[in-house]
Amino acid sequence: MRILVYTSPARGHLFPAVPIVQELQRRGHAVTLRTLASQVELLRALGIDAEPISSRVEAIELDDHRARSVPAKAKRALATFLARATPEAPDLAEAIAAHDPQLLLIDVNCWGAATVAEASGLPWAMYAPYVLPVPSRDLPPFGPGLAPARGRMHRARDALLRTVGRVVLERQAIPPLRALRERHGLGPLQHWSELFERPGLMLALTAEGFEYPRSDWPANVRLVGPINWSPPQPPPPWLQELRDPLVLVTCSTERQRDRRLVRVALQALPPAGMSVLATTAAHDPAQFESPPGSRVTRFVSHDPVLARAACVVCHGGMGITQKALSAEVPVVVVPFGRDQLETARRVELAGAGVRLSPKNLTPARLAAAVREARDCRPGAQRVSRAYAAAGGAVAAADALEGLGG
């Protein structure tokens, strides 16, 4: 079967797709992966038929770090995905014409590509590497990171917030999506969440045990657990020089206001007897002063670090959070925006770590949160077992083969 995979220009959305592509290739399928240009050479070296997405898509930066409040950040993120949708549509159409695929797999953030996929008449699927924002009668509204309702007052709160959120989303997202769909001969969406019900298959890259259980999952959703991958890289020789207990501190690969996480961790944890390895990702590591016995670097493979880490301190991106929990390492999540509030609450309710508000991010509170989180290893182990049972890339490939016939 010929399969075309299309991702947004984000490593956090590309990397989970790589093991799925590799598993499909192992089964004899011909897969083309269209993704951000900076990663094409790496993917080709791995034996993957990769090509860049349109430079017009990549030029539209996710700039929610410029906003201060959580609602303003969400509005900027939505604006980014809507702006990318316009060049995505012809980009995917060109790829379909060039490769004549029999099945499409589309990143959940690629709304223009999803429109073309639906209009193509081909079997198609989406994959979501973050908590799937599909409404449920069993859950609070997506976004604020609320715990499931207990009692009448919480249910009334949820009903009000759900209504307000739907109005805001549909004012911003529905008109441009309706116009795009009309240009491709598709009917209008009545609600924003219908976007996730259109594909024949929605791969949710998480599992219950971390994700809240719900009684009304849409029929097209398949939870396959996290799919953890990073570029092959030997452990740096200096890693063995860092003493235990070792805490991994990470920032987002998509720029946001999370550099304070590294600064506070370097102030808080070495005096508390813990060494720190901080990966700054979107930030310049030269901005930080590392005390003796700790290290700051832009990137390092997390796998050998997680093999001995006592705790992970992070922004709550689903990639690093689920990777840590898969390795049975508890987490302190300091959510700065996007889906991170939802991720942080799930960590807390799973008993797999600690949620710390950015407003409370001080050296004393972070040190206390790490000490508390280190006692949550049994919760991290429970989540890890749930992830493993979900099947990962093998389950995803099985589902895609079932969709493609």
Burial class (CB in 10 A: 0-12, 13-18, 19+), 40: middle
Residue 177 pLDDT grade (very low, low, confident, very high; cuts 50, 70, 90): confident
Tell me if 2-229+390-404 shares its fold with 237-387: yes
CA distances from 245 to 41, 307, 356, 375 (A): 37, 12, 21, 13
Residue range 237-387, CATH number: 3.40.50.2000
| Extents of the domains making up the chain | 2-229+390-404, 237-387
Whole-number pLDDT of residue 166 = 65
Q: What is the mean pLDDT of residues 137-143?
A: 77
Check pLDDT > 70 for residue 73.
no
**Least confident segment among 45-54, 94-103, 315-324:** 315-324
Enter the DSSP assignment of 401: H
Kindly tell me if the per-residue pLDDT of 174 is higher than 90.
Answer: no
pLDDT digits 0-9 by tens, 262-319: 999 999 999 999 999 999 887 888 888 888 889 999 888 899 999 999 999 999 889 9
Q: Quick check: 71 pLDDT over 80?
A: no
The CATH architecture one would assign to domain 2-229+390-404 is 3-Layer(aba) Sandwich (3.40)
Higher-confidence residue of 66 and 183: namely 183
Q: How many angstroms from the chain centroid is the CA of residue 91? A: 23
164 pLDDT above the threshold of 70: no
Specify whether the CB–CB gap between 169 and 192 falls below 8 A.
yes
74 Cα distance to chain centroid: 15
Residue 169 confidence (pLDDT) = 67
* Cα 94 to Cα 108: distance, rounded to the nearest angstrom: 19
- pLDDT, residue 144, reads 67
pLDDT 10s digits, 339-394: 899 999 999 999 999 999 999 999 999 999 999 999 999 999 999 999 999 999 99
**Residue 334 predicted with pLDDT over 90:** yes
**329 pLDDT above the threshold of 80:** yes
Of residues 313 and 152, more confidence is placed in 313
**What pLDDT, on a 0 to 100 scale, did the predictor assign at position 366?**
97
Average pLDDT of span 36-43: 96
The pLDDT of residue 160 is 62
Q: What percent of the chain has pLDDT over 90?
A: 65
The pLDDT of 326-332, averaged and rounded, is 97
Residue 326 has pLDDT above 70, yes or no: yes
pLDDT at res. 91? 97
Q: How many CB atoms lie within 10 A of CB 2?
A: 13
Summarised one tens digit per residue, pLDDT across range 221-235 is 999 999 999 888 888
Residues 6+ apart with CB under 8 A from 59: none
Cα 123 to Cα 28: distance, rounded to the nearest angstrom: 19
| pLDDT at residue 285, rounded to an integer | 84
Chain mean pLDDT for the chain: 90
